[in-house]
Chains A and B, each alone.
Chain A
Amino acid sequence: MKKELKFKVNGQPYEIFVKPKTLLVEVLRDLVGLTGTKRGCSSSSCGACTVMLDGMAVKSCSVLALQANGTEVVTVEGLAKGNELSPLQRAFLDHGSYQCGFCTPGMLMSSTALLTENPRPTKLEIKEGIDGNICRCTGYNAIVRAVTAVVKGEYKEAK
């Protein structure tokens, strides 16, 4: 039997009826239609499905959609303000912090959550902040460089 899920995604309210077994990643991709969030390993290992739920990074492949009831979810599509990319997004572009791009949404969400919680992380803390995210192109250094540049204040928030 389907149950009602009421939540916000990137500020937009949604009321969707879902089967209890539906996972958050499935709702975001298949029902809300935001395919920036990737389905990778589906076993909580790769982090490509990372989104922010009430400000916390979670793996949306391992959260029952109904547990997001009443929460605010932010996906990679919610980082830009209008046409203005977020500081982390711009830093990722400038530093070439992606190769195939599959891990990028998850990496962006994990690093966004990290900087929300701790705006001045050390290099080690940055590495720990993204250690739940796997980049199979192994481009970790460029990602850490991009986050470091934002921490140093080289990228300002869009007005």
Chain B
Amino acid sequence: MINDFEHFTPKTLKEALALLAKYGDDCKVICGGQSLLILMRQGLVSPKYIVDIKGISELSYIKDDKDGVKIGATTTHRAVEKSAVIKKKYPVLAEMETRLASVQTRNWGTIGGNVCHGDPAGDPVPVLIALNATLTVAGARGTRSIPVENFSLDYFEVDLKDGELLAEITIPPPPPRTGAVYTKFNIIESDLATVSVAASVTLGAGDGVCQDVRIALGAVAPTAIRAKKAEKVLKGKKITDALLKEAGEVAATETEPISDIYASEEYRLELVKALVPRMTKEALARAKKA
């Protein structure tokens, strides 16, 4: 049963920030509500005030400019999935969206809301980490930027202070010869990840050496994480199956998975060891074709 709350529908970002400044900790932001309403129904969250930003049209956009592609926080998953620019420049992001929950949830839920929900098993964050995305957070005193990999702090906790709101996600232009992939292991296709892996590989010109690699893991720690030690195994080298296997083993040491109804800790570790090499190899194949 959802408790009563007072509902505000600001029409601009400025109005929303003023409301957040006024009500502070007693208020929650809702956009699509695909995550929040479930928590409220379970009584896990009972805000006195709700600032509903679904109607702020200035935050719903996908813009392609020289710093990369900018996605407004209230852009729906479905808009990201269908966007011609995203499909062309970051196909991995559109592919990830097709695996996120169901069509209905993607029609109403937003990418910004998902990122702010801070669920370590959420789909977008590992991909955004692999793509080196930056978040723009707006507050009463202006905006600040934060790399998406530093945004999640703990289970369902993100780096938003009282009065702040996620405004925009910026994804830098992909370097040449870069390939990125995402997958999640789950039993029911529309479920959250049991373990998810996003990988991006950039090759040097002509030499086939791995110039840069980013590997992000979901559902194996309190937040989505970057497997930096595993990246080190591969960076600056010509990627071989033996190196990929080693990267998988190293990635597993960087995680701290829990056991739950979906999988044991041991099972999750095995998934990391299997999926990191597999997905990095796929990213490499894409980079070769790019």
Contact = CB atoms under 8 A, between A and B. Distances in A.
B38 A44 contact: yes
B16 interface: no
B67 interface: no
Interface of B: 2-7, 9, 30, 33-34, 37-38, 41, 50, 52, 54, 78, 98, 101-105, 107-108, 189-190
Interface of A: 1, 3, 19-21, 23, 42-44, 47, 50, 53, 56-59, 62-64, 66-67, 110, 113-114, 128-129, 131-133
B104 A47 contact: yes
Given A1-B6, A20-B5, A58 B104 contact: yes
Q: Which 4 A-B pairs have the closest CB atoms?
A: A132-B102, A20-B7, A56-B107, A21-B2
Contact of B33 (A3, A67, A128, A132): A67
Given A43-B41, A64-B30, A66-B52, A20 B4 contact: yes
A132 B190 contact: yes
Given A21-B2, A62-B38, A63-B108, A57 B9 contact: no
A86 B50 CA distance: 39
A105 B104 CA distance: 14
B102 A67 contact: no
Nearest to A109: B104
Contacts of A43: 38, 41
Contacts of B4: 19-21
Nearest to B3: A21
A128 B104 CA distance: 11
Interface centre among A19, A20, A47 (most CB of B within 10 A): A20
Contact of B104 (A1, A20, A21, A110): A110
Contact of A132 (B6, B54, B103): B103
A132 B52 CA distance: 25
B33 A63 contact: yes
A56 B30 contact: no
A44 B105 contact: yes
B102 A47 contact: yes
A132 B7 contact: no
